[in-house]
Amino acid sequence: MHITVTGGTKRQRQLSTSIARYTAKQLMSKRLMQNLEVNIKLIPRLLEKEEVYGDSTWEDNNWRPREFTIQADSKLKLRRLLETIAHEMVHVKQFAKGEMVDVVRANKIRWQGQYFDDKDAEYYDQPWEIEAHGREVGLFVRWCEYKGFAKQQWTQNEDYR
């Protein structure tokens, strides 16, 4: 997997690369990972500008894409920033494995064979968001344990910078 991170601080870029690689290893096969390109853009005040912590989009093809862009707000607390990247990596997995497909012509999302109009369902009720929110904290905690960060204050407390 090729990961590029732009923006943010050097530490944010290093940790973002690390958690993206870790989450990919947890969520995907080695074969799939080898064929992915993930560009992470750390953008200041994304939350203020677009009312999101982050987002992910496929860049090449809506059917099992291999190139993705993740945007995340670089002004978030470090824990929240890294949880956001873990969340967006779940979406990368969903698209790359064909679990979720943007059906562009019909303005719908196909999720595991079922079609959804994403404007009809509340954000937290969308099944792809249920999975991503359900996994982001666990992936973050396991990554912290793997990296030896689990006892550091910034990993324990969302209010800590």
Look at residue 160 in the predicted model and tell me its pLDDT.
53
Mean pLDDT score across all residues of the chain: 93
User: From CA 12, how far away is CA 8, in angstroms rounded?
Assistant: 6
Q: Which of 65-69, 91-95, 149-153 has the lowest mean pLDDT?
A: 149-153
User: From CA 40, how far away is CA 21, in angstroms rounded?
Assistant: 12
Q: Model pTM?
A: 0.94
Per-residue pLDDT averaged across 143-150, rounded?
Answer: 94
Partners of 40 in the β-ladder? 5, 70
Look at residue 32 in the predicted model and tell me its pLDDT.
96
In CATH, 2-153 is 3.40.390? yes
- Per-residue pLDDT reduced to its tens digit, 10-56: 999 999 999 999 999 999 999 999 999 999 999 999 999 999 999 99
| pLDDT higher than 80, residue 90 | yes
Give me the long-range contacts of 141-149 (CB less than 8 A, separation at least 24): 142/22, 142/26, 143/18, 143/19, 143/22, 143/23, 143/82, 143/86, 146/22, 147/18, 147/22
